[in-house]
Every structure is written in structure tokens, then in C-alpha cells.
Amino acid sequence: KHYASVGGDHNPIHTNSIAAKLFGFPTVIAHGMFSAAAVLANIEGQLPDAVKYSVRFAKPVVLPARAGLYVQRDADGWDLTLRH
């Protein structure tokens, strides 16, 4: 709910379990951009000042969740994967 206020995304699938169920989720799901920001925060100190990134949301993160972050660096940059 806090991220909804900060990010301005008040979609009820992120804040209300009944609404989430109406849309086919078992309960609320994490904001995708929150997940992306959490992943990037893990390598923040190693990134240049200007960065370009792309995000693919393969499946929703149903809350509460436990996730693992997998990081690989190569000549082209970083590959970050959040698995849950």
C-alpha cells in the first residue's frame, strides 16, 4: 500500500485482496515497478550515472512472497533475474 501512494498506482489488485481475486489472482500482487526498482537497488553502487534498462514481467509476484535475485555480468552489461 505504501508503494501505491509513492508510485501513484492505486490499482486495487495491488492493495485489496478481494479486488485481486476478481481479476484472477489468489491475493494482492506486487507492483511491477516496485519489483524492478528492488532488483536495480541491489547493484546501484556499481551502475554508471546514466543507465538504460528493459524489464520483462514474466509472471506476477503474489504477496507475501519470497524471491531470489540472480545476477550475471557480461561484456554487454548486466542480466538480473528475480525468481519466486
Task: From residue 76, give the alpha-carbon distance in Å to each of 39, 53, 72, 73.
Answer: 18, 12, 11, 8
Cis peptide before 48 (omega within 30 of 0): no
pLDDT band at 78 (very low <50, low <70, confident <90, very high): confident
Phi, psi of 45 (to 5 degrees): -70, -10
pTM (two decimals): 0.83
At 71, which CATH number? 3.10.129.10
Q: Identify the domain containing residue 22 by its residue range.
A: 2-83
pLDDT tens per residue across span 29-61: 999 999 999 999 988 888 877 788 889 999 999
Q: Which triple of cell numbers denotes residue 53?
A: 534498462
Q: What pLDDT was estimated at residue 46?
A: 83
Mean pLDDT calculated for residue range 18-26: 98
Q: Total domain count for the chain?
A: 1
